[in-house]
Amino acid sequence: MADGVFLWAALVAGDLKIAADQGDSEEDLESRLEECPAEMNDLFTFLLEKQDTFYAKHPKPYLALIYASTKAGQEVSSLDLLLASSGHEQLKEYFASGLNDSRLAALDSSASNLEANIVARCANLVEYDRQHLLDYTHPKFPAGRPYKSLNIARLTVFRFIHRIAQDFLVESRKGAALLRACGIFDQDALKLLMLSSAIISAVHVPDPIAQRPLRYAGCIQRDLWTPDETDIVDSIFAKAQAQNPWSPPWELAKAEHTRNSTASDAQFSLLCCPQISTQENVAHYYADVYCLSAYFESKLLPPASNVSNGLGGFCLIRWTLKHGNGMDDLIRMLKEHVSWTQSLTLCYKLRHVPETVHSPPVSVPLWQHMYIAAARSYLVTAPATRPSSLRSSLGHIPLSDRGSPYVECILVISLQHIYMCPTTSETMVSIEKILSSTDLFKVRVDVCESTGVGTISLDFRQYSPGGVTQFFEIDPIVNHALQKLFHTMAMQEACTCCGEFLVPILNQHLDRLAAAEIAQILHGSPLFGLWSEGLPLRNMIFPEGEFRLVSEVYIMAWEEQVKSRTHPDRIKNNEEPDRGGEADPLLSEVAKALESLRRTDEQWWEQERLSYCERLTDDESSSIQEDGGREETKKTPDSTRRGSRLEGISILLFSFESKYNSQI
């Protein structure tokens, strides 16, 4: 209510200011004020009636474009509006042949003082913001060229003066008429904005993937999608791959490459397929991230080219893993292109921090991939919101095609994410090796329990704690407890809470664990505590010769005690207080192993911090060094050096978080 009052006052004051500038007397201004309607919609109508008659007779589509971009949740700039108002045919020509110097010069001339014209043509229902001009991190547009007006236009953002103004356009007859006068429908406006933002990105893209045109593309209805939109999206994906090539995990494995710090976003994909081309993997990754269902259909339905079982099956499993719901339509769409019994080879994402890890290529029948994907999509949601359609979708798989009562898979607990991957005896060896620092379950997804309206459940067979390569059998009692936990909680929450059932498994098999392995389990992973939230054994210690889950307060006290064992001058006779003074040589060995792991961690983090700093731009690198970067740490005392190191780590954490979380 207060917002509406302030808006009314601002609009009326603006109108009175214009009148005063034109020489109106105080009496005239008072008369104008009395004539102003009290209701907001009436006031908007009043202002519309005062709009320049030329603009009313010769409208531009600015208002419809701003309305469409706002509904799509995107910022729209003066440059977007200038290009999009050129018309579809002109934009297609720009997109096909690019913006050369003569075209840029013409646009630069048109962009001069464009903002005031846009506001006037939109009946003062919109406003603009030039705050982006104050942000030096925005590169010039076009890079290295003297087009000042274009650069200002790209960084000038338009929005409605208030949500009330936006609502006025659809809730009132006068507002709707003003919107219709723009001459384009909402979906047409989205297509123009998609194409114009793609043209801008083609001239200069600070990011490897042009996000804005893809976000507009995700808002275009399936029945209005045309081959033109498909061509634009294909061009964006091809450019992304050319600028920042994605190397498939099977090629990286052959070359024995380590993590590439400048890897393409697609490197962090949930799923990839060796049976289709690298470009198809990249395209379907981005199409999935931006929910381009219309693009999917354009590639999979006639008159598209013949769809292989590999591509059809890959799209089906990707969509199920990412979205879960809405599979029935996709299954019906792909029915002609997939065989449930034919083998499909996929690489599954198994870990995302500190580097992305994919499984070796796993070749099993398509229906097995489908059950694993459906199980994960079903179990990651809260029980109250688990979709019945997900289970019913499995009924599309013919019973005669299954041939086995269950599917073997691995369940990976990786910080804030849970991954599942079907396994074979050949791939299991590689998976155990590459995930030795991660908590793993060997699980069976029972096919019989998964059909029809039955629930999707997991049968927990073995458990391997992070830090070792051994798997320990899970007895029926613990298996039943875990099944109940995963049935009553979302998968991530269940994994976080399952530690109380895992500790007894470890204590039952202490005779199989050496001191170094116990230290590895306590240590967990090379990140040691920095991302421990969400891990089942994050609050575990090893007092009195066994594993135990305790509160964080007790953990700190126990860690201090363990650290003292690596410094003999701090203790007497190697005694363990919790054991009543009895010597505990096993704990001393564990303490030494933990200390060695901690030192390795510190070296790893320092190398990562230095490597990250070297990848920054000159300005960013200078800023890091001024605030305690690697050059300054050489001259500062230990306490400051530790602070600088933590600052570098925090920068690294932010880098990892922004890179990975947005891609999961």
For residues 32 and 15, is the Cβ–Cβ distance under 8 A?
yes
Q: Are residues 117 and 147 in the same domain?
A: yes
pLDDT, tens digit, 9 for 90 and up, residues 547-563: 888 887 787 777 777 77
Q: Are residues 49 and 164 in the same domain?
A: yes
Bridge partner list, 464: 440
pLDDT at position 16 is 64
Both structure tokens of 272: 């990839």
Q: Are residues 127 and 96 in the same domain?
A: yes
- Report if residue 109 sits inside a domain: yes
Q: Are residues 620 and 577 in the same domain?
A: no
Q: Are residues 592 and 622 in the same domain?
A: no
What angle is formed at CA 93 by the lines to CA 91 and CA 96, rounded to 5 degrees?
110
Our measurement of the distance from residue 15's CA atom to the centroid of its chain's CA atoms, rounded to an integer in Å, reads 45
For residues 282 and 269, is the Cβ–Cβ distance under 8 A?
no
* pLDDT averaged per 10 residues, the chain (length 664): 51 64 68 59 61 72 94 92 94 91 92 90 87 60 77 90 81 83 92 94 68 93 92 90 80 52 56 90 87 86 68 85 68 75 90 76 90 86 75 60 73 81 81 77 75 68 88 94 91 88 92 85 55 67 86 76 61 49 66 73 71 61 44 42 44 45 42
Looking at residue 575, the DSSP 8-state letter turns out to be: B
- Report if residue 123 sits inside a domain: yes
pLDDT at position 389 is 60
* Residue 531, SS3 per DSSP: coil
Q: What's the rounded Cα separation, in Å, for the pair 221 and 72?
A: 12
- Report if residue 445 sits inside a domain: no
pLDDT at position 450 is 46
Q: Are residues 86 and 194 in the same domain?
A: yes
- Report if residue 165 sits inside a domain: yes
- Report if residue 261 sits inside a domain: no
Residue where one domain finishes, among candidates 576, 600, 624: 600
**Size (the chain), residues:** 664
Q: Are residues 659 and 524 in the same domain?
A: no
Q: Are residues 564 and 624 in the same domain?
A: no
DSSP string, 178-202: HHHTT---HHHHHHHHHHHHHHHHH
Residue where one domain finishes, among candidates 204, 220, 237: 204
Q: Are residues 540 and 633 in the same domain?
A: no
- Short-list 382, 404, 408, 509, CA closest to 461: 408
- Report if residue 400 sits inside a domain: no
- Report if residue 620 sits inside a domain: yes
Q: Are residues 524 and 645 in the same domain?
A: no
pLDDT, tens digit, 9 for 90 and up, residues 133-162: 555 555 667 666 778 888 889 889 999 988
Residue where one domain finishes, among candidates 600, 625, 653: 600
DSSP string, 56-118: HHS--THHHHHHHHHHTT--EEHHHHHHHTT-HHHHHHHHHH---HHHHHHHHHHHTTHHHHH
pLDDT at position 523 is 73
For residues 174 and 65, is the Cβ–Cβ distance under 8 A?
no
pLDDT at position 28 is 67
**What's the whole-model pTM score?**
0.73
Number of domains into which the chain is organized: 3
Our measurement of the distance from residue 562's CA atom to the centroid of its chain's CA atoms, rounded to an integer in Å, reads 39
Neighbouring C-alpha atoms within 13 Å toward the C-beta of 550 = 16
Q: Are residues 591 and 634 in the same domain?
A: no
- Report if residue 355 sits inside a domain: no
Q: Are residues 104 and 196 in the same domain?
A: yes
Query: CA 340, 434, 266, 382 torsion: positive or negative?
Result: positive
Dihedrals phi, psi of 402, to nearest 5 degrees: -80, -60
Domain that holds residue 531: 515-600
pLDDT at position 260 is 42
